[in-house]
Chains A and B, each alone.
Chain A
Amino acid sequence: DIQMTQSPASLSASLEEIVTITCQASQDIGNWLAWYQQKPGKSPQLLIYGATSLADGVPSRFSGSRSGTQYSLKISRLQVEDIGIYYCQQASSATWTFGGGTKLELK
């Protein structure tokens, strides 16, 4: 099975700050990587798919990148509405896995 190791587990940042969350895949998954945001009491929302493609309606301050088997989600200028838990997910193999999540809080 492909494991997705997400870091950090929690993160405290200030408004307008640049935030970066990473996910390390246990093997090559190509660009089959998605990022989701989940707010308390809500369903997850797709932010990024194909490692770098922005999902419909997602603000352009969100971006995704890849370096080998390491994937990153960047929020260029943190806003209040960005607070929540972020998950990566690989869709490379027939069986899919999520990362453990990163809880993003305001400092």
Chain B
Amino acid sequence: QVTLKESGPGILQPSQTLSLTCTFSGFSLSTYGMGVGWIRQPSGKGLEWLANIWWDDDKYYNPSLKNRLTISKDTSNNQAFLKITNVDTADTATYYCARLSLYSGPFAYWGQGTLVTVSS
């Protein structure tokens, strides 16, 4: 059974760095074809893809945010991470992590999401 769960600070101030953790089970990021992606959704708005990391450590970023994003993984502990630097109120959103697979669809499994609010 595949599960994912996001965790984050809840609230942070403008200009700080947002650190998010995705803890998952039911698959391994050391397995060929597997990956984890991050997606966010401001309240009442659409989905925005942020970044992907694959089993071979290939990383891809949304070009509009690329300079501020860093994705990484800890294969031993079944975790993936996303950092967003220099946040502002526009980064307020629910952040999701989701499993990637070369075989069964880009985002077949999603976490429940974690709400991040940027406020002074």
Point out residues on A near B: beta carbons under 8 Å: 1, 34, 36, 38, 43-46, 49-50, 53, 55-56, 87, 89, 91, 94-101
Chain A hits for B48, CB < 8 A: 98
- Min C-beta distance of A44 to chain B, whole Å: 6
Out of B60, B61, B110, B113, which one reaches A45, CB within 8 Å?
A: B110
Chain A hits for B47, CB < 8 A: 36, 38, 44, 87, 89, 98, 101
A43 CA / B38 CA spacing, docked (Å): 13
- What 4 pairs across the A-B complex have the smallest Cβ distances? A49-B105, A43-B110, A98-B47, A96-B49
Q: How many residues of B contact A (CB 8 A)?
A: 21
- Min C-beta distance of B95 to chain A, whole Å: 11
Is the beta-carbon distance between B106 and A96 smaller than 8 angstroms?
yes
Q: From B50, which residue of chain A is reached at the shortest CB distance?
A: A96
A87 CA / B104 CA spacing, docked (Å): 18
- Min C-beta distance of A35 to chain B, whole Å: 10
Chain B 81-93 interface 0/1 with A at a Cβ cutoff of 8 Å (1 = within): 0000000000000
* 27 A-B pairs with C-beta separation under 8 A: A1-B63, A36-B47, A36-B107, A43-B111, A43-B113, A44-B47, A44-B96, A46-B108, A49-B106, A50-B105, A55-B104, A55-B105, A56-B104, A56-B108, A87-B47, A91-B106, A95-B60, A95-B61, A95-B63, A96-B106, A97-B49, A98-B39, A98-B46, A98-B47, A98-B48, A100-B46, A101-B47
Q: From B111, which residue of chain A is reached at the shortest CB distance?
A: A43
Chain B hits for A97, CB < 8 A: 49
A38 CA / B54 CA spacing, docked (Å): 25
Chain A hits for B7, CB < 8 A: none
Out of A50, A53, A56, A89, which one reaches B49, CB within 8 Å?
A: A89
- Min C-beta distance of B67 to chain A, whole Å: 14
